[in-house]
Every structure is written in structure tokens, then in C-alpha cells.
Amino acid sequence: MTEEKRESREEVGGAEEVEPRRILVTGGAGFIGSHVAEAYLSRGDQVWIVDDLSSGRRENLPSGATFVEMPVEDPGLHVLMKDVGFHLVNHHAAQIDVRRSVEDPGLDAGINILGLLNLLEGARATGVERVVYVSSGGVVYGEPELRPTPETAPKGPLSPYGVSKLAGEYYLGYYRAIHGIETVALRYSNVYGPRQDPHGEAGVVAIFFQRLLRGEELTIFGDGEQTRDYVFVGDVVRANLLASELRFPADAGMDDRAFNVGTGVETSVNRLADITEAVSEIRTGRIFRAARKGELAWSVLDVSRLKAAGWSPRTPLSDGLRETFRWISGQEATS
């Protein structure tokens, strides 16, 4: 903790009064980042959001946050970080589309690696105490042999996106070891919920609901038996709040400072289609297409380490999908 930040704490009436923490949420106009920013605000933190709105939306920005429209690769980020003096950075800004990363690995690396380095250099120069980094449990393990997959499983990313996310965790290790920044990585499974856009693998939830509402058949690639671990955004938010406070021993390594965020339950695409039809009470039929190259056959995460730290997924898939459907149907009605 810097001297300036120590001086922000005063003894009042025999108790320590703590000034609200200043938190930067990159990607805070996006699906998950906006929910995380709201949660920090709700508990009394001061929040700044940096987002270039390439995929985020202004309407997602929570009231009370200070918004700066800027890509995370912009050198101007350092000026903001110096002017504010953040205690904590929560890094959600990213290129998240696996297929786009395959088509343009340079674009993916420019955002996910160079953007992260720009942020970490700003954190180093301005005394940021902790960085919470969003990694990916769905891609860094590749096609794992062990299911559910623990954090210690061998890493074998099969896409540039997976490579860039894993590289980010190694960079965190460097900045922790050499510059003393506390770091923690959250390896998300497939997150779904209100504000979700139909992008990425977890976007299948939004895609299915949109197609059902429009009377269109559901498109399934392959035989539909490929599985994913779907976790509700509200549960992911609680994992972020916990990760913002966790303490680690000095010798904790990369996997010790990483937590899978999922449910530990596999759901096939066919089963997901069944539940979305039941929740929406709409059935339009299904079309099966050829399997997509490079798609994982299965993905499910072991979340026992995060449970041991005091977190657990509270939202059953049917309940989360019901809440998501209400939000998407409201959006469709006003579009």
C-alpha cells in the first residue's frame, strides 16, 4: 500500500474509517463487466469504467460510474490511472470471439496481450494494489482428459484466443514477482444472463432465445451432444467480489492464484435447447448443421477451490435461463 493510500485512513471514534476504494473496470459497458461494476458501486466503491464500445453498450453503464470511452491499448490509459490513483483494477476488456481469433490472431493479440500489458504498465507506474484478470476456463485447458477440470490441469489452448488468455496469466506472474502487484485470475466457463449479446460460445443462450422469439428454427452444429458448463452472471459477479479480497501466501504460483468459475455441471447443446424451449414455451423446430472445426467436444470446470474460499454457484440453469429470457424478450419487444 502506498503512503498516499495509507493517509486516506483515519481513526475516528476509535474505529478505522476507510475511504471508498477507487476501482477501474475495463470493459465495464459489456455484458459481464457492467454487472461487476454495479456490484462494486452497490457496496460503496468509487468506479471508473474504460470501454471502447466496440461490443459494450452505453445503456449497460451503471449509474454512478465515471465513464471514459477508450480502448484498453490506448497510452492515454496511463494518464487516467495516474490522475485517479486506483486501488484495484478489474480487467474485463477483451477480444472474446474464438472464431475471430482464428481468422485474425494479430487482432486478438493486440487487444488481449498488448492491451493487458498497457494496463499492467499503468498499474506498475501508479501503485495499483491488485489486478483481477478475466481468463478463460473454457479454452486454456484445450481438450482436457479430466472432467470436471481443475485449475492444475495441463494447459493446451487450441485457439489464439486461448493462447492470449493463458499468456495473460503468465504476464500477471511476472508483474507480481518483479513489481509486487497482487494478482488473481478468474477462469470463466460459459457465462450467460441479462445483457448478453449473441457472441462467443456462451452466446448460444441469447441466440436460441432470439430465434425462438422470432419464430425461427434453432440451429445446432454437429450432433448437439457437445457439452458446456453454463454459469449465471450473478454468480460470476460474486466470484469477482470475492477475488477482489482474497489473500495468498507469498509463494503462491499461477494456478494457486487462479479460480475456475462455473458450476461443475455439463449441459449438452441439445439439453440447452430443451430447456430454452420449456422456459419460453415456444417450439420452432431444429436444424442440424455440420460440426464447426476446432470446437471442443466438452468443457466443464471443477470449482471446488472457489467453493473452499466461500463461493458457490447459487442459480440453477432453469432459473437463470428464465431470468435471461425475460430480459431478452423485453429487448426484442422494444427493438
CATH number of domain containing 138: 3.40.50.720
Dist. CA 221–CA 151, nearest whole Å: 29
E strand spans, 52-176:
66-69, 88-91, 130-136
Assess whether 192 carries a catalytic annotation.
Answer: no
SS3 of residue 119 by DSSP: helix
Whole-model pTM over 0.75: yes
Supply the range of the domain harboring residue 268: 201-229+264-297+315-334
In sequence order, the 6+-apart residues with CB closer than 8 A to the CB of 62 are 28, 34, 37, 38, 41, 47
Q: Residue 27: its pLDDT value, please?
A: 97
- On whether both 46 and 122 belong to a single domain, the answer is yes
Q: Using the 8-state DSSP alphabet, how is residue 191 labeled? A: E
Give, for 242, the enclosing helix (H) or strand (E). helix 233-243
Q: Residue 309 burial (CB < 10 Å; 0-12/13-18/19+)?
A: middle
Q: How many domains does the chain have?
A: 2
What is the CA 242 to chain-centroid distance, rounded? 14
Dist. CA 75–CA 70, nearest whole Å: 10
- On whether both 112 and 247 belong to a single domain, the answer is yes
- On whether both 247 and 288 belong to a single domain, the answer is no
- On whether both 116 and 144 belong to a single domain, the answer is yes
Dist. CA 267–CA 272, nearest whole Å: 7
Q: What is the pLDDT of residues 14-43, one digit of tens each?
A: 445 567 899 999 999 999 999 999 999 999
- On whether both 322 and 255 belong to a single domain, the answer is no
Residue 197: CB atoms within 10 A of its CB come to 14
The pairing of strands 182-188 and 258-261 is: parallel
Q: Residue 334: its pLDDT value, please?
A: 73
Positions in the chain short of pLDDT 70? 1-18, 198-202, 294, 335
Three cell numbers at 120?
499492467
Is 304 a member of any domain? Answer: no
Q: Which of 24, 130, 36 is nearest to 67 (CA)?
A: 24
- On whether both 136 and 69 belong to a single domain, the answer is yes
Q: Using the 8-state DSSP alphabet, how is residue 110 labeled? A: I
Active-site option among 161, 175, 188, 230? 161
DSSP codes of every residue in 122-146: HHHHHT--EEEEEEETTTTT-S-SS
Dist. CA 67–CA 109, nearest whole Å: 25
Q: Residue 203: its pLDDT value, please?
A: 85
